[in-house]
Amino acid sequence: MIEPGERTGEYRTAAGNSSQTRRDSDITIDDFAIAFANGLEEATAVDTSFGTGY
């Protein structure tokens, strides 16, 4: 779940795995944006599913 909140700068990613169901997969909008931008820059979020959360 992507929720409002402050940026923490801490998150984990899982390229190729978008089926995160744990409660700690929630992430703030700001942290999601940074994680996704980094995934695009590093090409880990290109041509695959991309999961991120805390």
Domain limits of the chain? Answer: 26-54
DSSP designation for 45 = T
User: 5 Cβ partners below 8 Å, 6+ apart?
Assistant: 28, 29, 30
Residue of higher predicted confidence among 53 and 18:
53
Residue whose tokens read 């940074």 = 34
Taking the model in full, what pTM does it have?
0.66
The first and second tokens of residue 18, run together, are: 């978008």
Tell me what pLDDT residue 15 has: 65
Tell me what pLDDT residue 2 has: 83
What does the pLDDT look like over 7-51, one tens digit per residue? 888 887 776 655 444 556 788 889 888 888 888 888 776 677 767
Q: Please state whether 26 falls in left (phi above 0), alpha (psi between -120 and 50) or beta.
A: beta
Helix (H) or strand (E) holding 51: strand 50-53
